[in-house]
Structure 1
Amino acid sequence: MIVKTTKDWPTQESDIIVDRYVNQPRPIRVAVLGAGISGIAFAYKARGLETVSFTIFEKNHDVGGTWLESRYPGVSCDVPAHCYTYTWAGNPDWTRVYASGQEINEYYRSLAREYGVYENTKFRHKIVGAEWSADEAAWRLSVEDLATGDKHVHVAEIFINSGGVLNNWAWPNIPGLHDFQGSLVHTARWDETLDLTGKRIAVIGSGASALQVVPTLQSSVSSLVSFHRSPAWVAAEFAGQFASKGRDTEYTEEERRRFRDDPEYHARYRREVEHGMNARFPSFFRLSDAQTIGVQNVTKSMRARLGNDPVLCEKLIPKFPLGCRRVTPGHGYLEALTKSNVTVETAPIARVTGHGIETVDGTMYEVDAIITATGYVTDFVPRFPIIGLGGVNLQDVWRDQGARAYMSVAAPSMPNYFMTTGPNSPISNGSLIPAIERQIDFALAFIRKIQVQDLQHVVVTDEATDDFNTWKDEFMKGMTWSGSCNSWYKNGTTDGTIIGPWPGSVNHFLQSLKEPRFEDFSYKYNSRNRFRFLGNGLAENEIKGWPLGEYIK
C-alpha cells in the first residue's frame, strides 16, 4: 500500500504533527565562498544530498583559487602531484612528480567542469558582508558584482567559508615601497609581461615563493639581492624517494600508461606517496629523535649546497627547531645564492627609495625591479564582517582576540557556519587534500542533520571551543611550531598562539573529525517540539511504495 497523505489516517490537528515521513529532508540553500580546491570538492560531495541547492561565489574569473592566481616564474607544488588530488579522483596523467602550477590548475578546472561547478558559480562576485537573520533563519550575504559594482543580497540557510588562508596577499610594510620608480611586483600578483632579463633585481622574502623565484631568475638577471628577515630550513623534496631526479623528475609515457591501464597499481602507488608525505610528522615533536636526526641531516645538506661557505651558512642555517617555520624544499635555491651575481642580505630593510633599497646599516642597493615574495595575510580574520547571534562580529572577535576555532571547522555564535582550512587545519602536518575533504564531510553531516531533524540552526558552544583550544595550546608546547622563530603559524610573531597547524598528524585529524561530536553544538528547532521531524508516523519506503522488509539480511 502507498500512503500519500495524512488524510489516509486519522489524527488530531496539531502544530507539531506534520505531513512528512520520518527524516524527510527539507530543502536547504548553501552559499559557498570560493571556487578553489574546497569549493570544487563541495560541489562533488553535495551531489549526494537530497534537496540541497548551492551557489559558489568566486571573486576571480575562473576556478582554482591560489593556483589560478599564482603565476610567478617557476611556480610549482612542492608536494608530490599524486598527493595533490582528491582521494576519489586520482590523475594518472601527471607529467611530473612535482607538478607546475599550470598543470595543477588544469586538473582542478577539468574536475570543476565535470562536477557542475561552473553552472553553480557566480564568477567575479565577491561576498563583502554576512549577517545571520533570526527571522529568516538564514544568512543574508551582501554580494558585490565586481564587473558592475552593483550589490545584492543572497539568502542561504548554510554558509561555508572556503576562501582559504592563501588568497589575501599584501605588500610588506616597508617605508617608501611605493615610491620605487622601477618595476614592483608581488609573487601572488605576477605581471606576466615583465621581462627581467639583464636587470638588477631584489627579492624580498625567504618563503616558498622566494625559493622558487630566485633559482628561476638568477641565471638571466644582471644581479640579484636576496633579502632575508629570518632564515628558513631548506630541505630535500617531500617524499623525495619517488623522485630520482629531484624536482625535475618526469613521469615517462610508459609510467603514465601503466597508471591509466592498471587502476589498482595506480592506487597502490598513490597510497605509498601519501605514506611518504605523512611519515615526516614525528619530526615535529620537539624532543623526538626524528627532530634531532632531521636537524643534523638538513644542516649537513644545507652546508653542502652552500658550498660550505661559512658566511652564507651562518646567515642561512636556522638556529630554531626544524619545522618551527614551514620546512620548504628549495630545488636549486641554495645553489643560486652562492652564484657570483647574487648577494644575500640579512640586515633589516630601513626604507625603499626611488631607485633601490637601503638597509638599517646604511647599505644601499640600486635595483631595476623589486619582487616581494612576502606571502599572504594569514591571521584568519575574515575579510568582511560576519555577524552571527547576538550581533557578534567574527571579524572583530578574531581581530581583537586572535583566531580561535572549534577543531578548524566552526566558530561560536556563528550558526550554520562552517570553514575549510580554518584556524589549526593540518596545513603543515602532511597531506592536506584529504583533510579538506574531511572538513567538508563534517559540514555535510550537519547539513543533513539540519535537513532531517527540523532544525533551524546549529552552533558550536563556547565551552566546547574553549576546551578544544585549551587542549590544543597545551599540546603545542611540545611541538617544534612553538619554537622561537617568526612564523605565520603564530600570526607573524615569535612566541604567540599557534593558529596554523593542527595539533597532531593528518591521520589524527582525519580520525578526530570522522564522527562529529554533535554534543558540542547547541540546537534551535523550527517548532516547540524537537520531535516534530517524526512526522506522519511513516517511513520513506512506505510513502514511495518501496519494499517494507528490506531490513532482513
Structure 2
Amino acid sequence: MNDVPKDRIEDAGSPGRRPLRAAVIGAGMAGILAAVKLRERNIDLAVFEKADSVGGTWRDNTYPGLACDVAAHWYTYSFARNPDWDRLMAAGPDIRAYFERVAAERGVLPLIRFGDEVTRLEYDAAGWQLTTAAGYRDRFDIVIVATGVLHHPNIPQFEGLETFEGAVFHSARWDHDVPLDGKRIGVVGTGSTAAQLTSALAPRSAHFSLFQRTPQWVMPRPNPEYSPEEKAAFRADPAALEALVQQLRSKTLEGYATAVLDYDSPQLAEIERLCREHLETVRDPDLRRRLTPDYRAACKRLVISDDFYRAIQHPNAELVTSPIVRIEPAGIRTADGTLHELDVLALATGFLVDRFIRPAKVIGRGGLDLDDVWAEVPSAYLSVTVPGFPNLFMLNGPNSPVGNFSLIEVSERQVGYLMQLIDGVQRGDYREVSATPEALDRFEAERQEAAKRTVWVTGCNSWYLDKRGVPSSWTFSFDRFAQEMTAPKMADFETR
C-alpha cells in the first residue's frame, strides 16, 4: 500500500459488482486479527499503523520488568497457539515477538501502511473516505477500528515538571539510553506498571522512591517456567495444549470474571482473603498500613505480582505517601516539605482510556460527528458499532470486557460477530449496516443497571469508571458476552 499515490480516491461503486474494500486502523493485537480474518474472505484490504512496526501496546511499552498478567497460553490467537512460552505469564518482548511472527506468517505485513496516522474518516454515498496525516486519501466500504485503549499516555500536570534536570519520561515511552544502575530512581503511580517497575528497579538503584497516591490490592500468582520437556509435549500434542488453554481460561473466568460482577460473591471474598494474606508478608507494620487500601479488592484492576511486596521492602526502596506538591530541578517536593532527590523520574500514570479512535475526526451519515455523539461519554452497541456510522466497526471499543483475562479472546469473539455483518455486505444483502439508536439505548440502560452490583462501584476511583462514575466496561457475565457475540440480532440493526 505504501506505493499508492497520495491523491488516489476510488469510487466505491456497488459492492455487488466488485470486491469489498476494507481499512483496518491499527496493527496491534486486534488489528492483526482483523486483517487475518478479512484476508480469509478475499476482501481487498489495507491496514493503517501510525507507528513503524506492529504490536500495539507491546511495541509501545518496553519498560524494565514488563510482563503480561494473563496466562500466556490463553493470551494467544486460537488459530496460532504458541507451545514455546517460557513462563506461565510471558515477558513483554516475547509477546511482541509473537505478534510480529503471526503478522509475518499470515501475510499481514505487506498490507500495512506504516508511519502514517489516520486523521479523518468521512462517510458519504460512496463509502468511507479515509485521510492520513501525510495527505494520503482512499475510499473503503468497511472500516474496522482496532486502535486499542491503552495508547494515549496520561501525563500529569505537575508544577515544575519541565524544570527537572534529570531524565523524565512516561512508562510507555521508556528512554533506554538513560542509565539506571546505581541511580536515584523515582516512579509515580501504583498500578500494574508501577509494581513491575518496582520489582525490576528497586534492587538496581542507589535509591528507589515509589510515589503512591492510592495503595493497590496485590494478588499473588507464581510464574513458573515451562521446561523443555513440557514445551516439546505441547508441540507434539496440540490437543493437550488446547486443553491447558481451556483450563487456564476456566480458572480465571470462574474466579475473577464472576467476582467483579457481584460484590457479595464468594469468589470476591476469596480474592480479598488472598490479597490480605499476601499483604501480611510486609514485615514492617507502618509500611503494611500504608500499603493497605481502604476499598474492596478488584474495585481497581488487580495488581498481579509475587515480588512487589518483596521489592518495596528492599533496603534501597522507599514508599512515599505524602502528596506531590511540585517537581523541582533536583527532584520531587512532597507536602511534608521533603525534597526527594532523583536522577530518573518515570511516570507510570496510565493512559487516557476514553480516546479510542480519537483524535481522528470521524464524520458519519448526514454529517454526524463522533465527537458530538461521544461528548458526554463514549458508547457503542455491544461495544462494536455506533448508530449513524454505517460499516464502521470497533474492536475493544467502548464498554468492552476488560480485566485480568485474555483480551485476545474478547477480540476474536468480536471479530466473529462483525464478520457476519460484513458477510451480509459482501453477499449484497445490504450495502450498509449499523445499530439502531433504540438498540444502543436499550443496551446502555441494561448495562448501567447491571453495573450497580459490580465491585467497581463500591467506593474507589479507577480508570474503569467514566466521568459520571459509571463503569465503562462490560457489566454482564463473560458467558453473556460470548452468547451475544455468537450472531447479530438483525432487528437491532438498520440496513440500507
- C-alpha displacement of 1:315: 1.7
1:490 partner SS: coil
**1:84-483 alignment runs, 5 A limit:** 84-134=75-125, 136=126, 138-144=127-133, 150-237=134-221, 246-247=222-223, 249-280=224-255, 281-284=257-260, 285-304=262-281, 306-307=282-283, 309-380=284-355, 382-398=358-374, 400-428=375-403, 430-483=405-458
- C-alpha displacement of 1:24: 6.5
Q: Could you tell me how far apart the structure 1 residues matched to 2:450 and 2:429 are? A: 38
Q: Could you tell me how far apart the structure 1 residues matched to 2:433 and 2:37 are? A: 21
Whether 1:511 and 2:483 are equivalent positions in the alignment is yes
Contact 1:26 1:451 (8 Å CA) reproduced = no
Contact 1:25 1:448 (8 Å CA) reproduced = no
Gaps of 5+ in 1: 1-19, 145-149, 238-245, 525-553
2:168 partner SS: strand
2:280 partner SS: helix
- C-alpha displacement of 1:300: 1.8
Q: Could you tell me how far apart the structure 2 residues matched to 1:322 and 1:456 are? A: 47
Q: Could you tell me how far apart the structure 1 residues matched to 2:101 and 2:146 are? A: 19
- C-alpha displacement of 1:507: 3.0
Q: Could you tell me how far apart the structure 2 residues matched to 1:516 and 1:25 are? A: 25
Q: Could you tell me how far apart the structure 2 residues matched to 1:292 and 1:154 are? A: 53
Q: Could you tell me how far apart the structure 1 residues matched to 2:236 and 2:431 are? A: 49
Deviations 1:311-370 (A, max 9, x none): 222222212121111011123111111222222122221111111111233232121111
Contact 1:201 1:223 (8 Å CA) reproduced = yes
Distance 1:236 1:226, change over 3 A: same
Structure 1 residues 329-338 or 389-398, which shifts more?
389-398
Q: Could you tell me how far apart the structure 2 residues matched to 1:461 and 1:358 are? A: 53
1:496 corresponds, among 444, 469, 487, to 469
Contact 1:348 1:360 (8 Å CA) reproduced = yes
Q: Could you tell me how far apart the structure 1 residues matched to 2:166 and 2:494 are? A: 56
Amino acid at match of 2:116: H
Amino acid at match of 2:289: E
Q: Could you tell me how far apart the structure 1 residues matched to 2:16 and 2:141 are? A: 17
Match of 1:243 in 2: none
Deviations 1:421-443 (A, max 9, x none): 11111111633211101111122
Q: Could you tell me how far apart the structure 2 residues matched to 1:423 and 1:82 are? A: 26
Q: Could you tell me how far apart the structure 1 residues matched to 2:428 and 2:20 are? A: 13
Match of 2:28 in 1: 36
TM-score where L is the length of structure 2? 0.93
- C-alpha displacement of 1:40: 1.1
Q: Could you tell me how far apart the structure 2 residues matched to 1:430 and 1:221 are? A: 32
Amino acid at match of 2:52: H
Amino acid at match of 2:287: L
Amino acid at match of 1:388: G
Contact 2:151 2:351 (8 Å CA) reproduced = yes
Deviations 1:374-411 (A, max 9, x none): 1111113522111112322112332x211111111111
Match of 2:10 in 1: none
- C-alpha displacement of 1:454: 4.6
TM-score where L is the length of structure 1? 0.84
Deviations 1:55-90 (A, max 9, x none): 000011111111111110011111111011011211
Match of 1:17 in 2: none
1:110 partner SS: helix
- C-alpha displacement of 1:468: 0.5
Contact 2:186 2:344 (8 Å CA) reproduced = yes
Match of 2:8 in 1: none
Gaps of 5+ in 2: 1-13
1:488 partner SS: coil
Amino acid at match of 1:384: A
Amino acid at match of 1:505: S
Amino acid at match of 1:413: G
Amino acid at match of 2:363: I
Distance 1:175 1:396, change over 3 A: farther
1:73 partner SS: coil
- C-alpha displacement of 1:208: 1.2
2:40 corresponds, among 32, 36, 48, to 48
Contact 2:383 2:398 (8 Å CA) reproduced = yes
1:470 partner SS: helix
Contact 2:447 2:476 (8 Å CA) reproduced = no
Q: Could you tell me how far apart the structure 1 residues matched to 2:68 and 2:39 are? A: 29
Q: Could you tell me how far apart the structure 2 residues matched to 1:418 and 1:97 are? A: 33
Amino acid at match of 1:84: Y
Q: Could you tell me how far apart the structure 1 residues matched to 2:218 and 2:211 are? A: 16
